[in-house]
A and B are shown apart, each in its own frame.
Chain A
Amino acid sequence: MKNVEAVPMPEVSSLVARLDGGRLVLEGTMATQNPAADLGPFFKAFHQAIVQDRLKEIVVDVTKLTFVNSSAIRLFVDWTTWIRKEEASPYRLAFVTDPALTWQKTTFPVLKNLAPSVVFLKPS
């Protein structure tokens, strides 16, 4: 976890991102005008750190991520693509979701369909 713990968390006012016991917790909203620029570098760096640490799974807790726009959903799509292309050290992406949040109920099953060997869902 050495490299993962060293990744600087993003500074977006509507979002709190933190590591908690090895899991990435995202709270708030991700609906900025350009999430690829605001958050893309963080997700990319986080992915690379997971690969360097040779982790088999990373848990992402989104239960308090109340709203995202589709440009931010794109970041999750990109993340699964990076993992699928990672031959040396692929890992599982396990999302802890809140089924009471409409956007999570609809979006994460589709993400799971897109990359069934990469994405795993853990309803809270």
Chain B
Amino acid sequence: MSAPNEQMIYMRFRPAWTYIDAIREFGRAFCATAFGQTEMGDRVQVVIQEALENVVKYSLDGTNSELTISIGPEPTQIEIAVTSRPDPAHADYLRREIESIRGADPEEAYLAAFQRAAENPEAASRLGLARMRLEGRVELSVADASDGRISVIARGSA
């Protein structure tokens, strides 16, 4: 997006757990300020947290990750993109899961994720993507990025 007076954040970081709190807090505060709404900050922080956790847990060693938060072209629109190089199995999972919940009622998709977690107590929780859609009020997509990386993109409106 390249609208005039666009507000944005770009960050490049090693996928390490230690960065997540700081990035989430800044993204929350930035968006709450930019939109003049505490709730917008809350929505953004959950998207950042869940997306970055995925990156930290599943990125291949030695690869950098990037986060971009863009507001615009309309002042009510927001896009959060996280780009990384996950291991191939996780990349497949992301594509499948995002495709399967796209367009589904967010609350029903979140409940289905809860049920799946309850039925498989030993498996990973896998609640994050459905939570991003419901709590962040965003739609998710996956796009190929440069150098074999992929971007998970969350788009929503204030």
Direct contact of A and B (CB under 8 A): yes
**Is the pair A70, B111 in contact by a Cβ cutoff of 8 Å?**
no
CB-defined contacts of A113 to chain B, threshold 8 Å: 111, 114
- Size class of the contact patch on chain B: 20 to 34
- Size class of the contact patch on chain A: 20 to 34
Stretch of A3-11, A55-63, A103-111 contacting B (4+ beta carbons < 8 Å): A103-111
8 Å CB contact of B118 from A71, A80, A101, A102:
A80
- Alpha-carbon distance A111/B113, docked complex (angstroms): 11
**Is the pair A102, B135 in contact by a Cβ cutoff of 8 Å?**
yes
- Alpha-carbon distance A33/B17, docked complex (angstroms): 7
- How many pairs, one residue from A and one from B, have CB atoms within 8 Å of each other in the complex? 66
CB-defined contacts of A67 to chain B, threshold 8 Å: 45, 49
**Closest-CB distance, A118 to chain B (whole angstroms):** 11
CB-defined contacts of A73 to chain B, threshold 8 Å: 125, 127, 131
Interface residues of B in 1-58 (CB under 8 A from A): 17, 20-21, 39, 42-43, 45-46, 49-50, 53, 56
